[in-house]
A and B are shown apart, each in its own frame.
Chain A
């Protein structure tokens, strides 16, 4: 079963966090998240059937660009969810990113990079506060981050009087809007897709290939046992919140490239991110999740919106169908995992 020599196999009543070699673990992860990839392929096939041009590289890359903010949010959210917590503040943090950037930069390209540094600073602070309040003050993260959502949204509205002013210069929007033209084979390679691939790879590496990632998983799986075996649970959870906040700022910067500046840009993104993560096979409550699955979950959601749009359903019906599909996909995954036991 395992490539490395281990103590005699004992039957474990629960799945251990780390079992077998990297290869068997990887295989297991793939099996656990198979439904979301099947869903994604079906959705893409349906879109392609309706508009065959969808599979041509430039169009498909444009789709990835459009999906990039949600995919990044889902990556960040997964860190928090595998650690056994929630982060509902990410959507409002995206709003903060776009609104603060527009107001402070106000079309002056020279300020862009300083303001970006400031934004990541705000993200760091938000993540630290979320982590501190949740781990040290023992407020359930659902409430902590919900309160943070109220605070950030309220602060943005208060600061701007409900009507954000200012504009984003091109060198800010370049990340979400521009592309490397005449790229071999692919044609036009959007910067957002490069950012997405790099940050996605970093996220996969952190969660699945480092000690820190394993600590997050074990913290979510059983915080008491983890604490007793020497994991600093509070620090791990706080780091997860910080990662989530930083990914949200990155998502906000990408989103700022192709959206209008308003005080509601990030609205609803937090729930979409959680849906994406759960579609990707993560367990709410912590201990299990896959970065690839979360990313596929986010892509599936965006593909679903695109598909419903193509079939001309109004926004309202799209919401209803989204609800049905999320429930169905999660139910299917839950039933599969029960059957597997």
Chain B
């Protein structure tokens, strides 16, 4: 590192590449900033409101549902796995918690406890099937999604149960200008950032995702690293479900698949610069990815873009962003 003491030539490209390598979510953060100010100008020019507290707050709150589960998805993807079952787990949580609480404030704790237990079980089964039975994660969690979907839609077909008023505080309440839910997302993001970068488990996760066999041969209990990541991911899906049900006041079987939380969360993670193959990335990029998707949504809504055209544009933006990202990374020599 002797070069560090020499005066650096002002080479912008080199500086940029170094910046990219130094932060997990480098390029996406830049894209996010550009998108943010671009959106501001674009929406303001067409007479909409972008830079108002209300609009920003509503964008943040809408990011919470996807943000929480995307954090969990980040962990499994970093571990070299994948979770397609989160969307239906969100539904299961929403329906089950609202049926258990049934409008009675004294049952809030019971409802939360039960859905967390169900989530932990789903994550454990996903993890065990993937590591011990060696089923490809794509298939294992897709199968889990089908199972959850089947059980759920066979038992419920509409809004069921209700959550008590007090519980809706989670979705609508705020401290000062900050909604509870946004603070929750920030706290969770911070905790996971700490876990990934400062704890042994975090290092193991990167090692296992980077090279499973090497990690295992170096004494990491690789199977359990993956299983824990899956349990954690399922628990974040449960949290998303709990948040959604607090906004909707009752759970319905379609809330998860309607939000496409499985594919959207994977899109957010990959937009955030986490490698789909595992071992490289971070939670900061994921959060930026979630916000980027929220900003796009906001622009589309404010400009009154046709619903179906939105899907097309979303697809194009997703591919374009990741292509730019991949080309940048190649230039940066990785």
- Spell out A's residues near B (CB within 8 Å): 133, 137-140, 142-144, 146-151, 153-155, 157-158, 161-162, 271, 274-275, 278, 284-285, 314, 316-324, 326-327, 330-331, 334-335, 338
In this complex, which of A146, A150, A285, A320 has the most chain B Cβ atoms within 10 angstroms of its Cβ? A150
B301 CB within 8 Å of chain A: no
14 additional A-B pairs beyond A155-B312, A334-B135, beta carbons within 8 Å, are: A133-B319, A137-B327, A139-B322, A140-B277, A143-B267, A146-B315, A151-B315, A154-B314, A158-B306, A158-B309, A319-B150, A320-B146, A320-B150, A331-B135
B139 CB within 8 Å of chain A: yes
Q: Are A278 and B136 in contact (CB under 8 A)?
A: yes
Interface of A is mostly: helix
Report how many residues on chain B are interfacial, defined by Cβ distance under 8 Å.
45
Q: Are A327 and B143 in contact (CB under 8 A)?
A: yes
- Spell out B's residues near A (CB within 8 Å): 129, 133-136, 138-140, 142-154, 263, 266-267, 270, 276-277, 306-316, 318-319, 322-323, 326-327, 330
Cα A334 to Cα B129 with chains together (Å):
11
Which B residue's beta carbon lies closest to that of A148? B315
- Taking the nearest CB of chain A, how far is it from the CB of B168, in angstroms? 30
Q: Are A151 and B154 in contact (CB under 8 A)?
A: no
Q: Are B263 and A331 in contact (CB under 8 A)?
A: no
Cβ–Cβ < 8 Å partners of A335 in chain B: 133-134
Which B residue's beta carbon lies closest to that of A146? B263
Known: A150-B315, A157-B311, A334-B133. A275 touches B142 (CB 8 A): yes
Cβ–Cβ < 8 Å partners of B134 in chain A: 331, 334-335, 338
Q: Are A317 and B133 in contact (CB under 8 A)?
A: no
Cα A340 to Cα B207 with chains together (Å):
28
- Taking the nearest CB of chain A, how far is it from the CB of B98, in angstroms? 19
Cβ–Cβ < 8 Å partners of B314 in chain A: 150, 154
Cβ–Cβ < 8 Å partners of A326 in chain B: 139, 142-143, 146
- Taking the nearest CB of chain B, how far is it from the CB of A70, in angstroms? 16
Cβ–Cβ < 8 Å partners of B330 in chain A: 138
Which A residue's beta carbon lies closest to that of B323? A137
Cα A125 to Cα B142 with chains together (Å):
29
With beta carbons under 8 angstroms apart, the residue of A140, A316, A324 that contacts B276 is: A140
Cα A142 to Cα B315 with chains together (Å):
12
Cβ–Cβ < 8 Å partners of A138 in chain B: 323, 326-327, 330
Known: A143-B270, A158-B306, A335-B134. A327 touches B139 (CB 8 A): yes
Q: Are A327 and B326 in contact (CB under 8 A)?
A: no
Which A residue's beta carbon lies closest to that of B270? A143
Known: A321-B150, A338-B134. A133 touches B312 (CB 8 A): no
Known: A137-B323, A149-B315, A154-B310. A143 touches B276 (CB 8 A): yes
In this complex, which of A158, A278, A318, A327 has the most chain B Cβ atoms within 10 angstroms of its Cβ? A327
Q: Are A140 and B318 in contact (CB under 8 A)?
A: no
Cα A155 to Cα B314 with chains together (Å):
12
In this complex, which of A157, A285, A314, A316 has the most chain B Cβ atoms within 10 angstroms of its Cβ? A316
